[in-house]
């Protein structure tokens, strides 16, 4: 680790020298590139400088213990060694965390998809509840949300809702929401008052950019039709709704939220690219580590990850065995405690792999 830190420090120092040269200052593209790299390395270099200072103090103090005859001075030095050891351990842990590779989606925008699963009408109502929960969380984070597609039902629910999110650290904070979310409660549609279990799936997809994925126009089939609402009634008198089928994979994306066919097509293409990008990401992960079957970060939506129990005001995340008796708060968008616990768990797993 120390050798790697020395290399990072050397790169950082060289970049600072390069950025002071007139030819770099006049080349804004290179200047911005160097500035971004310096910003990425700054916190690591700062920690390494602290570590180097503590290491020097450790050596100097150790020298006093070995060479000093004054007993009182030696005792003071021995006490100082204990403190310096603690400082070293803390900085070493911080350095290990700082050296962990950044997630590819660190600065990416996100497309979220929520779909009704088992449970009939109650499942579609749960989709609406989850959508509202995430929107409240989005607002609290200062992110921007844009609705891409919604398929409403007659019970104030959704069979499916798709929306995009833009903002700082959107993907790192929401990536672990992918999976099956289960709800246990008495449905509004249930007259007998019996507790019902239903489910919805959530997918968090990195929004692909042009450089990330290219789609051959010959690989897609585009159909247009009139938008429809609950019960099938037409809500638009023109053929503005768009359905795109990706022929090689069979993926189908529909968008009818906008009155403009052009805008619906653009939104549908964004969703299709995100889904194809996610498929490719999962394929690469499986090739790199075929033995890895855990849900966290994989995008696999086949496993129950969280249960929302209304009678007991309880939310349980099964991946980290975390139970919180504050369901009402969580459904109002107070997701930070869950989000931070999942991020911490993932970081600890990465540190174990790195050590």
Instruction: Note the residue count of the chain.
Output: 355
Q: b vs e for 325-343, b when ≥16 Cβ sit within 10 Å of the residue's Cβ?
A: eebeebbebbbeebbebbe
Helix residue spans in 142-258 (DSSP H): 170-174
Q: Long-range CB contacts (< 8 A, 24+ apart) of 251-256?
A: 251/275, 251/276, 254/149, 255/148, 255/149, 256/149, 256/227, 256/228
What is the predicted pLDDT for the residue at 213? 74
Angle at 82 between CA 79 and CA 86, to 5 degrees: 145
CB atoms near residue 218 (< 10 Å): 7
Per-residue tokens: 37: 């790299």
Measure the CA dihedral 304/306/309/312, to 10°.
Answer: 130
CB of 91 within 8 A of CB of 54?
yes
What is the rounded end-to-end Cα distance, in angstroms, of the chain? 10
Give the residues across from 213 on adjacent strands. Answer: none
| Dist. CA 206–CA 107, nearest whole Å | 10
Which of 130, 115, 122, 166 has its CA nearest to residue 333? 130
pTM for the full model? 0.64
- Spans in the chain with pLDDT lower than 70: 100-105, 189, 191, 209-212, 228-238, 284-285, 287-303, 353-355
3-state class of 204 per DSSP?
strand
CA 51, 87, 40, 282 torsion-angle sign: positive
Which of 275, 270, 240, 278 has its CA nearest to residue 258? 240
Q: What share of the chain is helix, strand, coil (3-state, %, to 5)?
A: 50, 20, 30
Which of 269, 284, 290, 251 has its CA nearest to residue 104? 284
What is the predicted pLDDT for the residue at 296? 34
Per-residue tokens: 349: 């797993």
What is the predicted pLDDT for the residue at 230? 55
What is the predicted pLDDT for the residue at 284? 65
Angle at 128 between CA 124 and CA 130, to 5 degrees: 110
What is the predicted pLDDT for the residue at 239? 74
Sequence-distant (6+) residues with CB within 8 A of 154 are 230, 231
Sequence-distant (6+) residues with CB within 8 A of 163 are 111, 112, 131, 145, 146, 147, 148
CB atoms near residue 128 (< 10 Å): 20
What is the predicted pLDDT for the residue at 346? 86
What is the predicted pLDDT for the residue at 211? 53
Measure the CA dihedral 100/103/106/112, to 10°.
Answer: -150
């Amino acid at each position: 680790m120390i050798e790697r830190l020395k290399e990072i420090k050397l790169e950082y120092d060289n970049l600072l020298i390069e950025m002071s040269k007139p030819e770099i200052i006049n080349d804004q593209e290179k200047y911005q590139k160097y500035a971004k790299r310096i910003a990425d390395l700054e916190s690591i270099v700062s920690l390494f400088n602290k570590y180097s200072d503590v290491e020097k103090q450790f050596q100097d103090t150790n020298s006093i213990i070995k060479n000093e005859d004054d007993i009182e001075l030696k005792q003071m030095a021995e006490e100082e060694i204990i403190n310096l050891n603690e400082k070293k351990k803390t900085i070493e842990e911080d350095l290990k965390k700082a050296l962990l590779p950044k997630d590819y989606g660190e600065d990416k925008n996100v497309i979220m998809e929520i779909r009704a699963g088992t449970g009939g009408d109650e499942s579609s109502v749960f989709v609406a509840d989850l959508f509202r929960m995430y929107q409240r969380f989005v607002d609290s984070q200062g992110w921007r949300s844009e609705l891409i597609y919604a398929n409403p039902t007659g019970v104030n629910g959704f069979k499916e809702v798709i929306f995009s999110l833009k903002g700082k650290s959107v993907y790192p904070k929401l990536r672990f929401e992918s999976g099956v979310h289960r709800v246990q409660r008495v449905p509004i549609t249930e007259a007998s008052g019996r507790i019902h279990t239903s489910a919805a799936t959530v997918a968090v997809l990195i929004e692909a950019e042009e450089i990330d994925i290219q789609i051959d126009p010959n690989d897609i089939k585009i159909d247009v039709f009139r938008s429809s609402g609950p019960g099938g009634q037409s809500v638009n008198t023109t053929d503005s709704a768009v359905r795109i089928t990706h022929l090689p994979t069979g993926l189908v994306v529909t968008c009818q939220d906008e009155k403009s066919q052009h805008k619906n097509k653009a939104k549908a293409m964004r969703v299709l690219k995100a889904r194809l990008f996610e498929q490719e990401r999962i394929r690469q992960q499986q090739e790199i580590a075929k033995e890895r079957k855990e849900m966290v970060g994989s995008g696999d939506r086949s496993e129950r990850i969280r249960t929302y129990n209304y009678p007991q005001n309880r939310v349980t995340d099964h991946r980290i065995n975390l139970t919180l008796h504050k369901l009402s708060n969580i459904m109002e968008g107070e997701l930070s405690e869950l989000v931070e616990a999942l991020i911490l768990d993932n970081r600890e797993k990465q540190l174990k792999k790195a050590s």
